[in-house]
Amino acid sequence: MSEPAPTVLVFDSGLGGLTVFRELTKARPDANYVYLADDARFPYGEIPEAELVPRIVAVIGDAIAKHKPDIVIVACNTASTLALEPLRTAFKVPFIGTVPAIKPACANSKSKLVSVLGTRATVSREYTRSLIREFAQGCEVKLVGSAHLASQAEGQLQGEPAPDARIAAEIAPCFVETNGARTDTVVLACTHYPLLLDRLKKLAPWPVDWIDPAPAIARRLTDLIGASAAGRPRSARFIATSGRPLSPELAAALAAYGFSPQIAENA
Ligand code: DGL
């Protein structure tokens, strides 16, 4: 008899985790997915740490009790760089976090000028700074905290794209030119940002490698729960803590990601 399909809980403050979800479903199309957005408290990047840790542990804890996942993907840098340890202490289920991809970015940079673009919280975290100390490999790493880019990415999926000038202003500090060398690699250290990738490429003052951690997270998933067995149907549910009705634009976007028609659910 074949094994039952695993249940994978994917968590983010909002819609950014969809960029990770997309890669996970390619790696394990047969799994049952529960996507949990803590949109009642979005954006996490502007919430003080002391408030955020208990919030994340409580929201994920409720979802674990309710959905009994086999594995939890914290598809949010702002949450992972702060709460992975308390989560692993509180719950037995395995967790995969999303943290800034500083090691591969620095390993591949030719100019040795790398920028890390994340929420203001993520770039200020000790976790992120320790990754730089350990893995900069001779690169000059610039931390760029953005207050608005995650909300602009949400706006894009909600059918309200931000004007070019506002996005360009958020990414401008990533681009450094010094002694004839230029930044050649930007780490997307917030899962929302790949939602804007086409626009980031278009608005960048020069071409760079944009490092999206999602494929590496999907590889980690198959390392931990194995590769896909063909032929099983996948289910995907979208749950939002606010319980707000979905806009028609977002409902259409979620359907395109493979969520079932009954997509609006309260946590
Ligand atoms: N998607 C989240 C991240 O990866 C953050 C967005 C936010 O809530 O500020 O950091």
Q: Determine the pLDDT at residue 265.
A: 60
Q: In this predicted structure, what is the pLDDT of residue 227?
A: 83
Cα separation, 76 vs 254, in Å, equals: 18
SS3 assignment, position 129: helix
The answer to whether 106 is a known catalytic residue is no
d(CA 72, CA 50): 22
Nearest atom, ligand 1, residue 191 CA: 4
Domains 7-98+215-266 and 102-212 share a fold: yes
DSSP 39-92: GGG--GGGS-HHHHHHHHHHHHHHHHHHH--SEEEE--HHHHHHHHHHHHHH--
Instruction: Spell out the per-residue pLDDT of the chain, length 267, in tens.
Output: 567 789 999 999 999 999 999 999 999 999 999 999 999 999 999 999 999 999 999 999 999 999 999 999 999 999 999 999 999 999 999 999 999 999 999 999 999 999 999 999 999 999 999 999 999 999 999 999 999 999 999 999 999 999 999 999 999 999 999 999 999 999 999 999 999 999 999 999 999 999 999 999 999 999 999 887 665 557 999 999 998 889 999 999 999 999 986 555 655
Among residues of the chain, what percentage have pLDDT more than 70?
95
pLDDT of res. 182 = 98
Give residue limits of the domains in the chain.
7-98+215-266, 102-212
Rounded distance from Cα 130 to ligand 1 centre (Å)? 19
In terms of DSSP bridges, do strands 140-146 and 95-96 run parallel, antiparallel, or are they unpaired? unpaired
- Candidates 3.30.70.3460, 3.10.129.10, 3.40.50.1860, 3.30.300.30; CATH matching 102-212: 3.40.50.1860
Q: Best substitution site from 51, 191, 195 to test ligand 1's pocket, by max atoms within 8 Å of Cβ?
A: 191
Closest ligand 1 atom to Cα of 45: 9
C-alpha to C-alpha distance for 202 and 40, rounded to whole angstroms: 32
Catalytic residue among 76, 106, 139, 174: 76
Which overall architecture, per CATH, does domain 7-98+215-266 show? 3-Layer(aba) Sandwich (3.40)
* Sequence-ordered list of residues with C-beta below 8 angstroms from that of 75, at least 6 positions apart, any chain: 10, 11, 12, 16, 17, 19, 20, 21, 98, 191, 217
Q: How far is the CA of 191 from the centre of ligand 1 (A)?
A: 6
Q: Does the Cβ of 191 fall within 6 Å of ligand 1? A: yes
**Is 190 annotated in the active site?**
yes
Which residue in the list 106, 139, 174, 190 is annotated as catalytic?
190
